[in-house]
Structure 1
């Protein structure tokens, strides 16, 4: 399954990139998603950065067939590699599950603001339930990006 999600910010791409490269912002975004725990590691690398967010999420909002598969909580490890301020790669793994999420993130100028474009390929390798689980996974990823966007919008309004 392919997923494309666009998020608009009322700030220049350089400010949005600086926000995304701030570990305090990433911690605030995790808190907004009500995760059980989150470990954020961000290392600057030239003009870019390498990010790992290792988080444990509740599954109480999932349908029962998915909770049976995922358990009471699920671990998600998000990795981003930005070689520069306008694009990066993104992967999300759930250790111990047959999922594969990979793709890209781009920051595109849009008038006086920025559009963050996330394009992902999601695969859940489970017979019969794979398609349904992919749709649920896509919904959770979108919800996480939307929560991060809400935090980002407020973050960028600060002087």
Structure 2
């Protein structure tokens, strides 16, 4: 397992960021902007928590196809205990499995909001998992930075 951390500012209020992150429309626009297939997304109340689930099948980048195959099923669940913190789990199923788990936080910041994530990445590939994690771990903060840019631009 590799530790993954991200922290960045979003030029939106914490309420706006939370509303977007729990909005199926935001996630569909996010996928479209990133040229990904439209995800299936739902947000429901479960035992006092707001839970957002999404799933989609995405093409695997060419440099990873030998290890992962041509496509991967990606499912994400975020369980928001409050409007400012949620537990995230992303499962990736291809030839091999991987997951990212952790906590996302939304806090007030001078430019609007601070979006942060602290968690772990685990790639389940016999003998090569650590090498694959080392390569993949650098993409998680990039994905959060892109998410922050999309949140700032979203007009939902």
Q: TM-score range by the shorter chain?
A: 0.7 to 0.9
Distance 2:135 2:73 in 1: 15
Match of 2:31 in 1: 30
**When the two structures are superposed, what TM-score results if normalisation uses the length of structure 2?**
0.85
- Secondary structure of the 2:137 match is helix
Deviations 1:2-54 (A, max 9, x none): 00011311222122111212211111112222223421112245875211110
Query: Are 2:90 and 2:99, in contact at CA under 8 Å, matched by a contact in 1?
Result: yes
- Secondary structure of the 2:125 match is coil
Deviations 1:42-100 (A, max 9, x none): 22458752111102121134x2xx31221111111111000110100000112353323
Stretches of structure 2 that go unaligned for 5 or more consecutive residues are: none
How large is the RMSD of aligned CA atoms in angstroms? Answer: 2.2
Stretches of structure 1 that go unaligned for 5 or more consecutive residues are: none
Q: Does 1:87 align with 2:96?
A: no
> Superposition pairs for residues 90-129 of structure 1, below 5 Å?
90-95=88-93, 97-129=96-128
How many pairs are equivalent? Answer: 154
**When the two structures are superposed, what TM-score results if normalisation uses the length of structure 1?**
0.84
